[in-house]
Amino acid sequence: MDEERAQAFLPYGRQNIDESDIEAVIAALKGPRITQGPLVDEFEEGLCNYLYSETRQSLVS
């Protein structure tokens, strides 16, 4: 991509990842369970609150 096109390019999305996000990921990876347990419960509860939903269930693939 040439310089002019590179500057005009609109990115799909921009991330805002700070040090606390990185620390949370590291803590999850060092934990005994990634796909079940208290971190999943915390994620589902936060998602429920964000979406104003009473039910929750997260899935992984």
pLDDT single digits (tens) 1-31:
566 666 677 777 778 999 999 999 999 899 8
What per-residue confidence (pLDDT) applies to 50? 92
What per-residue confidence (pLDDT) applies to 20? 96
The larger pLDDT score, comparing residue 43 to residue 13, is at 43
Per-residue tokens: 59: 């899935």
What per-residue confidence (pLDDT) applies to 26? 94
Instruction: Give me the sign of the Cα torsion angle 46, 49, 54, 57.
Output: negative
Residue 37 Rama label (left phi>0; alpha psi -120 to 50; beta):
left
CA distance 31 to 39: 9
Confidence of residue 36 (pLDDT cuts 50, 70, 90): confident
Please name the residue that has the structure tokens 């990115």: 11
